[in-house]
Structure 1
Amino acid sequence: MSARWEKLGLLYCPGLKGRHPKLLTHAANPLPLHISGNVYRIFYCGRDYENRSSVGAVDIDIVRREVVEEHYAPFFVHGPSGSFHADGVSIGNCYERLGRTYMTFMGWQSPAQGHWRGDIGRVEIRDLTIVPESEQLLMGMDHEDPISLAYPWVAPRAQGGFDMWYPSVVSWEVGNGEMLAVLKHATSTDGEKWSRHGAVVPYALGVAQAFSRPSVIQSDDGLHMWFSYRAGTGQSYRIGHAVSAVNGQWELALKGLSIDVSDTGWDSEMVEYPFVFRHNDLIYMLYNGNGYGKTGFGLAVLRE
């Protein structure tokens, strides 16, 4: 794939007044579902005054880059105390199974004593909305992932079954002030029970060692993945790239198809949480900028 990303600008940023209490700030982890024509319902994660994230949405014409409808109420609220998503939800992507559509998410827990942690859940999507009380734990911690899991991307396999790519924390500190979170792979025959296969995307301390939110598409030359990463040098999030040829081995490809910060504006400090998708024979990316989504999300297009 010989191309480059062209930034098209900020698509949506939450207003300062009249917000729902569960969506006061942020529009992180954008996830598009096609409505019709060029219009998508873009789900996102907003936060309440206690910093707990829930899922809101805005309908946007991505070609004209105009808001069609802004939805006031959240579509999915974080869980009750003691649940695996009590302190927030961060959405991943959607996949279909047996005629049903599911949205994956990371469920946050932030205990008073101890570090935050995450597990992977899902909710059902029906008629462009989230089915109430359909959330369930999809994949939790075990001996392979004993610390924290995050931001799943689930996709059907050509030969049947499903792939999942997800970040997993190996250590909160590896000597340079940064955690080590690697990108792992799991497979499932039915989309319910998952076999975990460990880390698949190489990491490099001081270069790329704190990964989050993978986004994967199939191309003629294999699989392409975009993700957030930090280097462990004190630099904020950037959006990186990896490729996997037909042999299934992933390689980091941080030059060329990665995205860096802008000189000024809403994404001048960090870029993160990509979502890559096809529309009208073009490949687009939704992504966040400064403040982990506090300044909203923007759009880029891949130019050949």
Structure 2
Amino acid sequence: MKWEKKGLIYCPQGIHGWDVKGFLTPNPFLLNDDVIRVYGSIRDNNGAGRIGYVDVDAKNPKNIIAISEKPVLDLGEKGAFDDSDVILGDVIRVDNKVYMYYVGFQLVHKVKFLAFSGLAISVDNGQTFNRYSKCPIMDRADNALYIRAIHSVLKEGNTFKIWYSVGNDWQVINNVLYPKYDIRYTESDDGINFNDNVGVSCILPNEQEYRIGRPRVRKIDHGYEMRYTSDTYEKEYKAGYAESSDGTHWERMDHKSALQPSESGWDGEMACYPVIIKAQNKTYMFYDGNGMGETGFGYAELLENK
């Protein structure tokens, strides 16, 4: 597979007050045949992220059609699991509704933060969302004390297949505390309640890494592919790739990730959080640039038979 980078699409400018810094974890969603809505977390001056969107032309995503003037998902109530920050997990259609899985962050005293998974539901094709619950749908467990974050959901028949990150420890690098986490899998009959609290271990960090997460999974001809982001003790934050025949047993093939930083520019230092979508007979990869999206998000296009 050969991908061609097409450049930066959007970086917020603080026009509305809440949309000041970066566009974290871009998540493309096919609004209709002509429009791709890219949801993402945009931070304010205090670093708190809220979910907004950018609508782009499905034929040419460099053409911006609309930008959200207010968040479609704001911070949770004071004291709730999502009162400090929200970022995207996944957005999928379920019957006549749109499910937005998100990760809510809460700042606490004895560790850096807690991060657990919530659900918001739209009944108007992704225009507005309401929380399913003020509590997480995937909360802490004995084997997931600090992080239990849903990042990919596929509905196959009557089964929701879920890939998520689990964090149980912290790593100090250059006097900064970073979360340690890995990737796991579980299933659900309704996309809300889960069949176990343990999950199946999918990919663990290697000896150079202390965390690997943000799994984005899609079905391919011979099984599944996963694009994720890992971080090393030397602070190399980069995209990776793996394949699986069953969705639970994975083989890392990082040489096939096809996403590397450019020589310079908005993604010259970092290229991360890749997500694939097909539209208008084309295949696009949306991704974040430097500083985990501080410089905004852009895209690449798959060049078929070239």
SS of alignment partner, residue 99 of structure 2 = strand
Question: 2:165 aligns to what?
Answer: 167
5 Å-filtered alignment, 1:283-298, equals 283-298=283-298
Q: Secondary structure at the match of 2:203?
A: coil
SS at match of 1:42: strand
Q: 1:77, CA displacement in angstroms?
A: 0.6
Q: CA separation of 1:270/1:175 partners in 2, compared to 1, >3 Å: closer, same or farther?
A: closer
Partner in structure 2 of residue 74 of structure 1: 71
Report the alpha carbon displacement of residue 157 of structure 1 after superposing the two structures with TM.
2.4
Residue 144 of structure 2: aligned partner: 145
Shift of 1:8: 1.4
Q: Indicate yes or no: 2:56 matched with 1:60.
A: yes
Q: 1:199 aligns with which of 198, 201, 207?
A: 201
CA contact (8 A) 1:161 1:188 kept: yes
How far the C-alpha of 1:39 sits from its partner, in A, is: 1.7
- The two structures have a TM-score, normalised by structure 2, of 0.89
1:29-68 map, 5 Å: 29-64=25-60, 65-68=62-65
* Structure 1, unpaired ranges of 5+: none
Equivalent position of 1:234 in the other structure: 235
Structure 1: distance between partners of 2:111 and 2:83: 15
Residue 181 of structure 1: how far off its partner (Å): 1.2
Distance (whole Å) between structure 1 residues aligned to residue 148 and residue 65 of structure 2: 34
In structure 1, distance between residues paired with 2:96 and 2:34: 24
Could you tell me how far 1:175 is from its partner in structure 2? 8.8
> Per the alignment, in what secondary structure is the counterpart of residue 149 of structure 2?
coil
Q: Work out whether residues 184 and 198 of structure 1, in 8 Å CA contact, stay in contact via their aligned partners in 2.
A: yes
Contact preservation (8 Å) 1:216, 1:276: no
Residues 67-95 of structure 1: per-residue CA shift (max 9 Å, x gap): 11122211111112200101110111123
Matches of 1:133 and 1:148 in 2, distance apart? 20
Partner amino acid for 1:143?
Answer: D
- The yes-or-no answer on 1:11 pairing with 2:9 is yes
DSSP-derived class of the 1:255 partner = helix
Q: C-alpha separation between the residues in 1 aligned to 2:297 and 2:172?
A: 31
Is the contact between residue 217 and residue 225 of structure 1 (CA under 8 Å) also seen in structure 2?
yes
CA contact (8 A) 2:85 2:104 kept: yes
Contact 2:150–2:162 at 8 Å: present in 1 too? no
Residue 119 (structure 1) aligns with: 116
Distance change >3 Å, CA 175–CA 85, structure 1 → 2: closer
* Contact 1:151-1:212 at 8 Å conserved across structures: no
Moved more, 215-224 or 242-251: 242-251
Q: Letter of the 2:199 partner, please give it.
A: H
User: Contact (CA 8 Å) 2:185, 2:202: kept in 1 or not?
Assistant: yes
The 3-state SS of whatever aligns with 1:291 is helix
- Pairwise CA distance, 1:223: 0.1
Residues 37 and 56, structure 2, Cα contact 8 Å, conserved in 1: yes
| Runs of at least 4 residues off by over 4 Å | 133-136, 174-179
Contact 2:122–2:130, Cα closer than 8 Å, also in 1: no
C-alpha contact (below 8 Å) 1:106/1:151 kept by paired residues: yes
Matched pairs, number: 297
